[in-house]
């Protein structure tokens, strides 16, 4: 079932009432259908269909606090589940640090994969290239919202040809006592329509919160992963679709809160409407 949330107002400090966050309530489909009869087909791209069936993992990696613990080599990881594995994934862009895998630091990465089932083990290593290649890996933590699990993979060993046993990749199993369980997240398809008026687009960090019945709500979630996506999306007269994993608010969405964090040159935004569809996880 798709919910429609019309807005047709500015989210801009210098426009309208100056608010950059608005709460929207759903309306009957007939009120918005005339504009959007063909949107569904044009948006049903293969990439989004695949993304709807994928799972997003947040991978945190802690480099040990020892002399020469950091590495300049290229680090990769493979997640192994009960159904499948992710294949080799390069950990390229840390969401926290510009220089990744530095001594004593935690780096965070996003890994997308089709459903691999329950996480069983990981393999992590590096290619031994660069000036300072040896690495002391303290632990890896993987948060899998669709499973409702956050798992810790303790290591505490060198991945270094001249230290320990000389291995530069290791297979690590989760520590059962350090596994956190929570209610699994579900995927929502969120389609955002930016208005066709002068200056309607924004480069700001747009976020959303969904509210179900009985006061249940999701966390506040940014729709873009980084500044590059912020510059790409929410252009004037554009339609942008996102698959976002969030807490399950149930079958009824009573309202949403959508807004942005301001700042930058082009933060003001004229939002036409939002459409939301709760997807069944993993194609069930």
Residue-level pLDDT, tens digit, the chain, 284 residues: 788 888 888 988 888 878 888 888 888 765 555 444 444 444 444 445 445 556 789 999 999 999 999 999 999 999 999 988 888 888 988 888 889 999 999 999 988 887 788 899 999 999 999 889 999 999 999 998 888 899 999 999 999 999 989 999 999 999 988 889 888 888 899 999 999 999 999 999 999 999 998 788 999 999 998 888 888 999 999 999 999 989 988 888 989 999 998 877 788 999 999 999 888 655 44
Phi, psi of 158 (to 5 degrees): -80, 145
Residues 246 and 267: their CA atoms lie apart, in Å, by: 25
Residues 262 and 230: their CA atoms lie apart, in Å, by: 12
Domain-by-domain residue ranges, the chain? 2-40+184-278, 55-181
Class of domain 2-40+184-278: mainly beta
Q: Could you check whether 2-40+184-278 and 55-181 share the same CATH topology?
A: yes
pLDDT at 36: 46
8 Å CB contact between 147 and 119:
yes
Q: What sign does the dihedral 36-41-47-50 (CA atoms) show?
A: positive
pLDDT at 32: 56
Report the chain's terminal Cα–Cα distance, integer Å: 15
Residue matched to tokens 């019309």: 6
pTM over 0.75: no
Per DSSP, the residues of the chain read -EEEEEEEEEE-TTSTTS-SEEEE--B-THHHHHHHTTHHHHH--HHHHHHHTEEEEEEEEEE-SSTT----SPEEEEEEESS-B---EE----SS-SS-S-TT-EEEEEEEEE---SEEEEEEEE---SSS--EEEEEEEEEETTTTEEEEEEEEEEE-TTSTT--SEEEE---GGG-EE-PPPEEEEEEEEE-SSTT----S-EEEEEE-GGG-BPPPEES-SSHHHHHHSS-TT-EEEEEEEE----S---EEEEEE---SSS--EEEEEEEEEEPPGGG-
Residues in the chain: 284
Residues 254 and 25: their CA atoms lie apart, in Å, by: 6
8 Å CB contact between 282 and 240:
no
Phi, psi of 226 (to 5 degrees): -160, 180
pLDDT, tens only, 208-256: 999 998 788 999 999 998 888 888 999 999 999 999 989 988 888 989 9
What would the CATH number be for the domain defined by 55-181? 2.60.60.20
Query: Is residue 255 classed exposed, middle or buried when 0-12, 13-18 and 19+ CB atoms within 10 A define those classes?
Result: middle
């Amino acid at each position: 079932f798709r919910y429609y949330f019309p807005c047709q107002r500015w989210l801009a400090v210098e426009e309208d009432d100056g608010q950059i966050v608005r709460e929207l309530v759903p309306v009957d489909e007939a009120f918005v259908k005339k504009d959007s009869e063909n949107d569904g087909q044009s948006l049903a791209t293969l990439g989004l269909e695949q993304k709807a069936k994928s799972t997003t993992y947040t991978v945190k990696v802690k480099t040990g606090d020892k002399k020469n613990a950091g590495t300049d080599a290229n680090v990769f990881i493979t997640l192994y589940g009960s159904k499948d594995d992710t294949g080799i994934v390069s950990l390229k862009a840390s969401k926290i640090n510009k220089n990744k895998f530095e001594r004593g630091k935690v780096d965070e990465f996003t890994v997308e994969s089709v459903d691999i089932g329950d996480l069983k083990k990981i393999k992590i290593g590096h290619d031994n290239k660069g000036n300072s290649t040896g690495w002391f890996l303290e632990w890896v933590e993987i948060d899998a919202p669709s499973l409702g699990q956050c798992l810790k993979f303790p290591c505490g060993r060198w991945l270094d040809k001249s230290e320990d046993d000389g291995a530069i990749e290791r297979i690590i199993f989760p520590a059962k006592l350090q596994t956190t369980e929570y209610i699994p997240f579900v995927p929502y398809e969120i389609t955002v329509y930016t208005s066709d008026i002068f200056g309607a687009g924004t480069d700001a960090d747009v976020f959303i919160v969904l509210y179900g019945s009985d006061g249940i709500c999701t966390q506040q979630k940014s729709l873009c992963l980084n500044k590059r996506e912020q510059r790409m999306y929410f252009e004037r007269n554009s339609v942008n679709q996102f698959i976002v994993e969030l807490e399950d608010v149930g079958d009824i969405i009573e309202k949403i809160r959508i807004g942005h964090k301001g700042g930058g040159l082009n933060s003001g935004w004229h939002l036409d409407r939002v459409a939301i569809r709760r997807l069944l996880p993993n194609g069930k």
